[in-house]
Amino acid sequence: MSFYPFSFFKSLRSGIRAICVLSNAQILVSDSKKIINLNHRYQVVGHCDLTTRLHDMCQITSNEVAVVVNAYDKHEVQFVSVNDGRLVMGTKLEFQHPCFGIARNKKDLYLTSGTALYKYSISGTRLNKLYKDTTARTTGYMTVDIYWFHAKFLQAILKYFNSFFQIS
């Protein structure tokens, strides 16, 4: 068994919140307010600080991720690109509902709000509210990596949930 020098853990304030492995073997690790870029040897090659609490992250392209940040009055998806090891802040999308989880499938983003699952275009246009549970204060903040699912499997899951809950 091999161990790697994870000295970057000392700079993480509240433990690991999200991990994303890019196709060029770079690894993005985040706590609640910082994203750290690691190379294939687990060495820190870059980082960026966020202004508000990070909840989740997903890969968008081979060198870009979307980061969900959420605070009392701020609900955003922040796009972050990796450029020669540097993390560069890009486009920011703002939402009226809380944002806790994110996944991408083709050109669509899926966001969880704690009680609902929304489908948005990559530019931030709301396409659908796929699921909403009004029976509880929250249904959890779980994220599903939808891009791993085959489309027919995803349709079957949605059909199954539709039999129990009203989907609007």
Which has more confidence, 137 or 29?
29
- Confidence (pTM): 0.74
CATH class for the region spanning 7-162: mainly beta
Question: What is the reported pLDDT for 32?
Answer: 77
Q: Is the pLDDT of residue 103 over 50?
A: yes
Question: What is the reported pLDDT for 138?
Answer: 56
- The DSSP annotation for 69-84 comes to EE-SS-EEEEEEEEET
With a CB cutoff of 8 Å and minimum separation 6, the contacts of 110 are 101, 102, 103, 104, 117, 118, 119, 120, 130, 144, 146
Which has more confidence, 44 or 94?
94
DSSP helix, strand, coil percent of the chain (3-state; round to 5):
10, 45, 45
What residue ranges do the domains of the chain occupy? Answer: 7-162
Q: Is the pLDDT of residue 96 over 50?
A: yes
